[in-house]
Amino acid sequence: MPTRRRAISTQRTYNTTAYRYPNERLILALTLLLVLAVIALTATATVCLSALFIILSVAIAYGMNRYQHNELVSHAQRITSQSSPGLAAVTEEAIARLQPGDVQVFVAPSRKLNAYTFGILPPKIVVLNSALLQVMDADELRFVLGHELGHVRLGHTWLNSLVGGMAGIPSPIGALALMTLAFRWWNRACEHSADRAGMLACGKPHKALSALIKLEAGPMARTQTDLERALRSIDAEDDNALSHLEETLGTHPMMIKRITQLRRYAASAEYRRLQEMVNRNAQ
């Protein structure tokens, strides 16, 4: 992977969250209002008990984050200019573009095409599974990295621990199911926001789309023909009711919806404006 060098610049960096998916904050507000309404109206979960439950959930989440970090350090490799100069350059450029704050990026051994982020307090942690390095090119890796850095910059990383704890407040089955579905709704909005961040980090919409297709299709989608075949399969994803049910219960939108949303965003004047601004951060 070629190393990209960033020229030292004294210009003011452009730090923005304007790529946030339009409905994300509204969905989060509705989710929180729903949770608070359930707390107020449910006889089995008093306000005091619920507050204690939230505090306990956050404490547990913090402890699990620390444990997860320690486990990660023991078997994963942190990306540095000494250990992986090419990948470090890609990482530094993505961080420069999106300005997510204090972040450490690791590569963990795994055959699964996946990346994730965690952390309540800085530094937030981004993990790339090693299989990504075998399948993605440099631009596609920029999208994957930017997606995770977008989660960090937009506050999703710590909010997931907080809101997830609130959604788990002891409640009747119906209320618990309703809160869980609302939380999943917000999760899916966050994914659209993070996809936008990934495309801004990548700077090439067609590479953002090919990265999404590879994530869905797996390691066999290597050639252009493979990608086109995989896209035809993905395009049929929303043609049956089961896929819609799985999406409603899941944390991620259907891949065809993510691809469609990114295409629309790439064609917008807002994307072009933000892309021009974040590009200056990497100069």
Buried b (16+ CB within 10 A) or exposed e, 179-201: beebbbbbbbbbbbbbbbbbbbb
Is 154 domain-assigned? yes
pLDDT at 163: 67
Give the E-state strand segments of the chain in sequence order. Answer: 77-78, 103-108, 115-118, 124-129
**Do the domain assignments include residue 201?**
yes
- Rounding to the nearest 10 degrees, give the CA dihedral for residues 91, 223, 192, 232: 180
Instruction: Say what the pLDDT of residue 56 is.
Output: 74
Q: Is residue 13 part of a domain?
A: no
- pLDDT tens per residue across all 283 residues of the chain: 544 544 445 567 889 999 999 899 999 999 888 877 776 666 454 556 666 766 777 777 778 778 878 888 788 999 999 999 999 999 999 999 999 999 999 999 999 999 999 888 899 999 999 999 999 999 999 999 999 999 999 999 888 876 655 544 445 566 667 778 888 999 999 999 999 999 999 999 999 999 999 999 988 888 889 999 999 999 998 888 899 999 999 999 999 999 999 999 999 999 999 999 999 998 8
Residue 6 lies in a domain: no
Please check whether residue 169 lies inside any domain of the structure: yes
Residues 6+ apart with CB under 8 A from 263: 205, 209
Residue 4 counted as domain residue: no
- Residue span of the structural domain in which 89 resides: 24-281
Domain presence at residue 7: no
Q: How far apart (Å, rounded) are the C-alpha atoms in residues 193 and 200?
A: 11
Q: Is residue 16 part of a domain?
A: no
State the total domains in the chain.
1
